A and B are shown apart, each in its own frame.
Chain A
Amino acid sequence: MKLDYPKSWIIQKITALLFLLLLVFTLFSLSKVNLESHFEIVNWFSNFFNFFSFSILFTSIVIHSKLGLNSIIDDYIHNDQIKKKILFLKNTFLITIYSLVIGCLLHTVK
Chain B
Amino acid sequence: MKKNLPLSPHLQIYKPQITSVLSIAHRITGFSLNLVLVLTTIWIVSISLGDIYYQNFVQLFQTLFIKFVVYLIVLAISYHALNGIRHILWDLGYLIDNNSALISGIIIIISSIIISILISIFLGIF
Q: Which residues of B contact A107 (CB under 8 A)?
A: 48
B interface bracket (residues with beta carbon within 8 Å of A): 20 to 34
Question: Is residue A108 within 8 Å, beta carbon to beta carbon, of the partner chain?
Answer: yes
Question: Is residue A38 within 8 Å, beta carbon to beta carbon, of the partner chain?
Answer: yes
Q: Which residues of B contact A76 (CB under 8 A)?
A: 7
Q: How far is the CB of A16 from chain B (nearest CB, A)?
A: 5
Q: Which residues of B contact A23 (CB under 8 A)?
A: 77
A64 to B51, CA, bound (A): 32
Contacting pair B47 A78 (CB below 8 A): no
Q: How far is the CB of A20 from chain B (nearest CB, A)?
A: 6
Question: Is residue A84 within 8 Å, beta carbon to beta carbon, of the partner chain?
Answer: no
Question: Is residue A87 within 8 Å, beta carbon to beta carbon, of the partner chain?
Answer: no
Main SS at interface, chain B:
helix
Question: Given A75-B8, A97-B37, A104-B48, are A68 and B54 neighbors across the interface (CB < 8 Å)?
Answer: no
Q: Which residues of A contact B51 (CB under 8 A)?
A: 38-39
Q: Which residues of B contact A20 (CB under 8 A)?
A: 81
Question: Is residue B55 within 8 Å, beta carbon to beta carbon, of the partner chain?
Answer: yes
A68 to B51, CA, bound (A): 35
A104 to B41, CA, bound (A): 9
Query: In chain A, residues 16-53, which have Cβ atoms closer than 8 Å to a Cβ of chain B?
Result: 16, 20, 23, 27, 31, 35-36, 38-39, 41-42, 45
Chain A residues proximal to chain B, CB less than 8 Å: 13, 16, 20, 23, 27, 31, 35-36, 38-39, 41-42, 45, 58, 61-62, 65, 68-69, 72, 75-76, 78, 94, 97, 100-101, 104-105, 107-108
The 8 closest A-B pairs by CB, nearest first: A104-B48, A38-B51, A38-B54, A108-B48, A107-B48, A104-B44, A101-B44, A68-B30
